[in-house]
Amino acid sequence: MTIITLTVPDLGGVDEVEVIELSANAGQTIAVDDALAVVESDKASMDLPATEAGVLVRYLIKEGDRIAAGAPLAEIDVVGASEGEAPAAEPVAAAPAALAEPVESPPAAAVVQSREIEVAIPDIGSDGLVEVIEISAAVGDELAEGDTLLVLESDKATMDVPVPQAGTLLALRVSEGDKVASGAAMAVLRIAAAEQPSAAQAEPQSAPQSAPQSASQAAQAVAPAAAATPAPVAAALPADDDGADVYAGPAVRKLARELGVALTKVAGSGPRGRILKDDVSAFVKQSLAAPAAPAGAAAGSGLPALPEIDYSQFGAVETRPASNIAKATARNMVRSWLNVPHVTHFDKADITELESFRASLRSAAEARNTRISAVAFAVKAVAVALREQPIFRTALSADGEQLIEKQYCHIGIAVDTERGLMVPVLRDADRKGIWQIAAEVAELAALARSGKLKPAQMQGGCFTISSLGAIGGTGFTPIVNAPEVGILGLSKTTIEPVWDGSEFQPRQLLPMALSYDHRTVNGGDAGRFMVRIVELLGDVRWLAM
């Protein structure tokens, strides 16, 4: 076996992402670029691919973790893949006679040797049985020497059982509620080969392990970013009571001291009301949430917060958490609406000739396996207008003192997905033809709907187009995607009578709504911009000029 550690690749400038799905199982053969996990940022979800082929030994992350680029992701056996080996999902120490010799790893793989040891219950001061009332670690956790593994309880006292050496917890031999005695096996631990196990431990079994960083560093790399910090907890909950009269073990008391929590205020959920670590954590989360400022005040809006309503009093309800994307969209929309003075300019483009031309391209589109929609023409028209009127390619600096003119023409396309609204960005739209625009818009929309957009593919836009034509409606007022200064909304095409000077003619009209930031764009700018788009869509020959 040659075990290497795969790390989280570059995340496109995103600091942290949440692990929402593990895409493989231990023992599964993985090819290069196979998805190992799915992560989600505020803007998009993406797959984390394998950079090496091999057999997945174990994950170093779990669902719900918040991770950053460079954090340990998983361990794979690169030799086992070629030799057809399949390592067990949870290795267990065997008898000494069956132990394998340590396997030397090539220096290029940066692999070091490791051993697996059986950890036993230490001397507990009596020959009787004691009850396991708490498991303080989970399989896969990186433990430091002295970290609590179990909490035991006798008739007289509770005691923490620490791990004798630093390492990775591979398996647990006991469960909560078990009765155990001194010397009973309680866990399997993987330790570095350089560390010598104590005499009380079983003979080690060798296994290669990629360990370029310490256990504490690995734990920090994958620790959830939202972990509670002592300062705010202590401020909210002064630890004016050491909890001497409460029912809690030493590990729980230590955690409470670190977080500034008075144990007398925590309700225990363990046997006979014993306070567990989970109880302390839940109390901290509740305490941090309780004094939070109302949403309006926190956003700087000065608006009163909406009252909390118990909707169940009116009938059956179902509560489910909002996705990260939905929450980010809500924050961005509120921020844009409160900070950007919106004005919306309405008009209709006569696209009768455009639709006739588009219908004539049907055979060519099928040959290219590309569907050309009216949106592709709208993107091209907007790109031409953006080049001619650079005010719509600007951004207002945060202090409001400068206008930043972008020398590129990247256009965002709003896409409705199951995860929420996503806006992939089509780059250099002014340099591309209708065929290329149609193909790239379709590709970006497919990536958005499948959750495979990368954060970099949603950044750098100058202007946004949002089309509800396929859904319906006669018009809407889109919200500017700040720091952009404009967004064009397209509604459903209708056939209306238009006077040609002598009689009414049925024409296909496309309703459009241009919302803009009035701090940067004035009404004349917006009027000229919209008139130009109407002109370009009314006669697509202008798009070739």
- Please check whether residue 374 is in contact with residue 358, taking contact to mean a CB–CB distance below 8 angstroms: yes
Report the distance separating Cα 436 and Cα 26, nearest Å. 42
Cβ-count burial of 85 within 10 angstroms (0-12 exposed, 13-18 middle, 19+ buried)?
middle
Provide the Cα torsion 276, 188, 176, 250; round to 10°: -30
Close Cβ partners of 524 (under 8 Å, ≥ 6 residues apart): none
* Host H or E run for residue 380: helix 374-388
Tokens of 60: 């170093």
433: phi then psi, degrees, rounded to nearest 5 = -85, 175
Contact 500, 315 (CB under 8 A): no
CA–CA separation, 184 vs 356, rounded Å? 82
Is 518 in the active site? yes
395 token code pair = 């951004």
Question: CB within 8 A of 460, min separation 6: which ones?
Answer: 408, 410, 425, 427
340 token code pair = 């950007």
Q: What residues pair up with 422 in beta bridges, in sequence order?
A: 415
Residue 191 is inside which H or E element, if any? strand 185-192
d(CA 188, CA 411): 55
The H or E element containing residue 450 is helix 434-450
Nearest to 276 by CA among 256, 297, 298: 256
Query: What gap in Å lies between CA 473 and CA 79, rounded to an integer?
Result: 59
CA-wise closest residue to 205 among 88, 122, 106, 311: 88
Cα 97 from chain centre: 46
Residue at 534: amino acid letter = V
* Active-site annotation holder among 342, 345, 410, 518: 518
The phi, psi pair for 523, rounded to 5°, reads: -60, -35
Catalytic amino acids?
A: 518
